[in-house]
C-alpha cells in the first residue's frame, strides 16, 4: 500500500506546486493551506470550496496526521489542561495547555520519549521511540486549540523529547506555525528548550529565526552537571555556553538559562556563587525552577527561601531572573513530568470544527 504524504509539512508555496494541483489555479493551494493551518480541518472533505475531484485526489495522496484524544486532565488549581494523544501507530505523547494573563500557551512534544536520560525528567525514562513529524508537532497546537476553543498565542517546545535531536522537523514546524498564511504565531512567542546539543545550537543560530532558546543548565560545573545530565559527557558546559553566546550574537535573541533547584544537590552557597560568576555579564534570563516530583526519582525541590536567595543574588549582579510559577503539578503536567503512557485505550476522536481565526 502506497504511503501517504504528511500534507501539514508543506509550506504554501510548495503545496501549490504539488502534482495533484497541476492544471488548477494557484489559489487552490492557498485554500488548502488555510483549511489546514487556520481552520483546523481534519478531513479533505471539510474543504467545501474545493472541487470534489481535488478532495478525492488529496485523500488518495496525502494524510492529515491523526492525533486521537485518549485522555484529558484539568488542574483544579490553575486551569492547566494536560492532553494524552494517541498517534496513528498507537504511540502516545503528552501536551499541555497553560492559560496565562499574557495569552494562552501550549507546551508540545517533539519526540515519542527521549534519548538523553536527564535524571530529573520523566520523558526519558523509557528511552526514545521515534521522532515526531511536522504534522504531529503542528497537530498538537491545532488539536488543543480546537478542543479548548481559544486561540494559542505562545508555543513552548518543552514537552517529551529533545527538539534539536529532531532538528529539521523542528525548524519546519517553526516556519509553518509562524507563516503569514497559517496561524501566524510570532516567532518571538516560540521557545525551544534543549539539554545542550552544541552543534545544533550553532546550526539553529544560522537559521536566523527569532525564537527564544532555553538551555537546561541545572548545574554550574561539568562534574555536577553530568550527574544530572549525561549529555555533558558529549558536550561539556564550556562548549554549550559558547554555542549559546553565538546564538545571541547572531540572532540578537537573549538566551534563557533554566536552573532546576534540587534540595541538597545544586542549591548550596557554592552553587549560588558559581552560577552568579558563570552568567555575570551575559545578556540572558535565568528561570529558576523548583524541581517537580516524579515517582522514579527521589529529588526534592529547594525551599522557597533558597529560591528567593538565588533570585536576589543574581539580580544584584544585574542578571534578569524569575522563579517559574509551576502550573499543572497536580496532574503531572509541569516541567519534567511528561512521559510515555503505554496501555491507555484509544479515546473518541472529538474536536471542534470552528475556525481557529478569531476563536
- CA atoms of 180 and 253, how far apart (whole Å): 21
Separation of CA 128 from chain center: 16
Catalytic residue among 94, 162, 271, 326: 94
Specify the residue for cell string 514537552: 159
Separation of CA 218 from chain center: 19
φ/ψ of 196, rounded to 5, equals: 120, 50
- CA atoms of 317 and 225, how far apart (whole Å): 23
**Structural contact between residues 161 and 194, judged by C-beta atoms closer than 8 angstroms:** no
- CA atoms of 211 and 186, how far apart (whole Å): 9
62-63/212-216 β-pairing = unpaired
Q: Is 94 a catalytic residue?
A: yes
Catalytic residue among 14, 207, 335, 350: 335
How many CA within 13 A on the CB side of residue 295?
4
Contacts 24+ apart (CB under 8 A), 24-30: 24/54, 28/54, 30/181
**Residue 230 burial (CB < 10 Å; 0-12/13-18/19+)?**
middle
- CA atoms of 191 and 169, how far apart (whole Å): 15
Residue 210: name the closest of 246, 251, 181, 269 by CA. 251
Would you tell me how many other CB atoms lie within 10 Å of the CB of residue 54? Answer: 17
User: Any idea what the Cα angle at residue 191 is, between residues 185 and 193, rounded to 5°?
Assistant: 150
**Structural contact between residues 189 and 110, judged by C-beta atoms closer than 8 angstroms:** no
**Structural contact between residues 233 and 280, judged by C-beta atoms closer than 8 angstroms:** no
Q: Which residues are catalytic?
A: 94, 335
Amino acid at each position: 500500500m502506497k504511503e501517504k504524504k504528511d500534507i501539514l509539512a508543506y509550506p504554501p508555496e510548495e503545496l501549490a506546486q504539488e502534482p495533484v494541483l497541476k492544471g488548477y489555479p494557484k489559489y487552490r493551494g492557498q485554500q488548502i493551506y488555510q483549511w489546514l493551518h487556520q481552520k483546523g480541518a481534519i478531513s479533505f472533505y471539510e474543504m467545501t470550496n474545493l472541487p470534489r475531484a481535488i478532495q478525492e485526489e488529496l485523500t488518495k495522496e496525502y494524510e492529515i496526521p491523526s492525533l486521537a484524544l485518549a485522555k484529558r486532565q484539568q488542574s483544579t488549581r490553575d486551569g492547566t489542561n494536560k492532553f494524552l494523544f494517541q498517534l496513528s501507530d498507537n504511540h502516545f505523547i503528552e501536551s499541555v495547555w497553560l492559560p496565562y494573563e499574557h495569552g494562552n500557551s501550549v507546551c508540545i512534544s517533539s519526540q515519542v520519549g527521549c534519548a538523553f536520560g536527564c535524571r530529573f525528567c520523566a520523558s526519558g525514562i523509557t528511552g526514545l521511540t521515534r521522532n515526531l513529524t511536522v504534522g504531529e508537532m503542528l497537530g498538537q497546537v491545532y488539536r488543543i486549540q480546537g478542543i479548548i476553543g481559544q486561540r494559542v498565542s505562545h508555543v513552548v517546545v518543552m514537552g517529551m523529547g529533545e527538539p534539536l535531536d529532531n532538528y529539521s522537523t523542528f525548524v519546519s514546524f517553526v516556519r509553518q506555525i509562524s507563516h503569514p498564511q497559517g496561524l501566524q504565531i510570532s516567532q518571538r512567542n516560540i521557545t525551544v528548550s534543549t539539554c545542550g546539543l552544541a552543534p545544533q545550537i550553532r546550526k539553529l543560530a544560522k537559521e536566523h529565526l527569532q525564537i527564544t532558546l532555553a538551555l537546561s543548565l541545572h548545574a554550574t560545573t561539568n562534574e555536577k552537571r553530568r550527574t544530572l545530565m549525561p549529555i555533558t559527557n558529549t558536550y561539556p558546559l564550556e562548549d554549550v555556553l559558547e554555542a549559546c553566546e553565538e546564538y545571541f550574537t547572531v540572532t540578537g535573541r537573549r538566551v534563557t538559562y533554566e536552573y532546576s533547584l534540587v534540595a541538597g544537590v545544586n542549591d548550596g552557597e557554592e552553587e549560588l556563587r558559581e552560577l552568579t560568576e558563570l552568567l555575570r555579564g551575559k545578556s540572558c534570563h535565568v528561570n529558576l525552577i523548583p524541581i517537580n516530583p516524579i515517582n522514579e526519582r527521589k529529588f526534592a525541590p529547594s525551599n522557597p527561601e533558597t529560591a528567593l536567595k538565588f533570585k536576589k543574588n543574581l539580580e544584584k549582579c544585574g542578571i534578569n531572573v524569575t522563579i517559574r510559577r509551576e502550573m499543572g503539578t497536580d496532574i503531572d503536567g509541569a516541567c519534567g513530568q511528561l512521559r510515555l503512557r503505554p496501555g491507555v485505550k484509544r479515546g473518541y476522536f472529538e474536536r471542534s470544527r470552528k475556525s481557529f481565526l478569531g476563536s
